[in-house]
Amino acid sequence: MEGKNAVKIYDTTLRDGAQAFGVSFSLEDKIKIAEALDDLGVHYLEGGWPGSNPKDIAFFQEVKKMNFKHLKVAAFSSTRRPHKKVEEDPNIQTLVRAETPVYTIFGKSWDLHVEKALRTTLEENLRMIYDTISYLKRFADEVIYDAEHFFDGYKANREYALKTLKVAEEAGADCLVLADTNGGTLPHEVEEIMEDVKRHVSAPLGIHAHNDSELAVANSLVAVKKGAVQVQGTINGLGERCGNANLCSIIPNLVLKMGIEAIPKENLKKLFYVAHLVAELSGRPHIEYLPYVGDYAFAHKGGVHVSAMKRDTRTYEHIDPSLVGNRRIISISELSGKSNVVEKAKELGFDVDEDSPKVQEILSRIKELEAQGYHFEGAEASFELLVRELLGKRKKYFEFLGFTVMTVKEKDGQIFSEATVKVRVPEEVARSLGHEDPVEHTAADGVGPVEALDKAVRKALEKFYPSLKNTKLTDYKVRILNEQAGTKATTRVLIESSDGERRWGTVGVSPNIIEASWIALLESLEYKLHKDEEGMRAHEEDKDI
């Protein structure tokens, strides 16, 4: 990675990313993320600020025991305090005790911050930068200097901002990282300022951009074009306010679009996994439309798009999604054409020809249902059941005979719902399990009517289909489609279910929210039984081979 076109990736998800609202990584989370980033091929991991909290101190102790293939772990802190010896500054001493191979120090570049935030003189700030870096050079392989608020400082007082960089260079900083801390700098400004900086310092330069103007990725790429050899950012763009530069966009742009070594090209396929891991551990929902790593980054809905992509995927995709570990999604909606239906059917394992009348029948039925309020994006299980029905391949595992739901509020304020359901299974299924009566009539209670229904129908069917016991409802979304109708409005219910190995979505629509939920619940269980039977059939075929 030492070629002239190489750029080092510096990840600060565990420090800067953890400052995002609502994010708090546990020690175990931090270890998992560190391992994933090392596997991805990232060069630096900023583990946190050891002087700020016990969790970061514990992390630095743990990573000493780990053997990384690519990562160098950096501990982060500020320059020494004004008018205090660096040897006596507790933050600096805690940093030294972290014993990381890299120390990253931030200092003030903007005279406003020096005078208003630090409440010291411009000369003392320069001494703070010099003393801290030169002292830490005794203890680490590398000292990286983050010039905080550099671009704002440069625009306010160019001479002083450049002087802070010169002092850091003289003190021995291995890389000078220019930070757009407030995220307000435009790409052409980054370009011009980088050119000027290179005329005054010779140390390697880096970029640390924030996204307050939606330009963090663009500014990072421009900085690289102008000679930056280190890019700092976070996975998924996590960070305070509007976030940091998103490494999940920067890395593939560097490697695939600019031909610049950042991580090994073959490791790009791990990017999707890392993005979703960090989203899961951060407790923040993954943004489905993120470039490269979003679930819908390569989703196609328009019939014209899908038709063209059958001939050449380059018509509507800027890269092959597999390069970053993602996948192509063909969506089904009222905007779909025959190509969508054929491609989606093939994806589900059904061999249909575009000229078959069944394709037009499926398409017409989809458009009819969507006019009623159905929505098959996110409900692919319901779509598969519809295709099965119209192709004559939908097996009837059970028959719904009726349900009753009652909600009770007692004098002490306790409230609960009770549901009774009646279903019938094929007689041969009942007899195979030793049951004479194929009809099951049972009841269950729950906090609300949907939970009560869910528990009751699964209780009834588990007697005949034991594999349903591990099926759980994992998400439940309700949308009112025609609000102007008031309490008579049509309701769409989208539920997500899981059996621990698979996740699938189903949809139900009705003016009655309970019925809409019931439709989605029944389809979820039916889909599970179809998949179980397919799995058993495949297993038997493998045994025969």
DSSP 205-237: EEEEEB-TTS-HHHHHHHHHHTT--EEEEBGGG
At residue 320's C-alpha, the angle toward residues 318 and 324, to 5°, is 105
Q: Would you say 57 and 26 are in contact if contact means Cβ atoms under 8 Å apart?
A: no
- Residue found under tokens 């075929």: 541
Q: How far, in Å, CA of 248 to CA of 252, rounded?
A: 7
SS3 58: helix
SS3 105: strand
End-to-end, the C-alpha distance of the chain in Å comes to 47
At residue 293's C-alpha, the angle toward residues 290 and 21, to 5°, is 55
Q: How far, in Å, CA of 424 to CA of 427, rounded?
A: 8
Q: Would you say 121 and 109 are in contact if contact means Cβ atoms under 8 Å apart?
A: no
Q: Would you say 125 and 160 are in contact if contact means Cβ atoms under 8 Å apart?
A: no
Gyration radius of the chain over CA positions: 29
CA–chain centroid gap for 198, Å, is 36
Which H or E run includes 175? Answer: strand 175-180
Give the DSSP letter of residue 181: T
Q: How far, in Å, CA of 289 to CA of 297, rounded?
A: 5
Q: Would you say 511 and 372 are in contact if contact means Cβ atoms under 8 Å apart?
A: no
Residue 276: active-site member: no
Q: How far, in Å, CA of 368 to CA of 519, rounded?
A: 17
Q: Taking each helix axis from N to C terminus, what angle separates 380-390 and 513-544, rounded to the nearest 10 degrees?
A: 70
Catalytic annotation, pick one of 43, 210, 305, 375: 305
SS3 75: strand
Give the DSSP letter of residue 244: B
Q: How far, in Å, CA of 385 to CA of 457, rounded?
A: 19
Give residues with Cβ within 8 angstroms of 273, minimum separation 6. 36, 325
Active site residues: 305
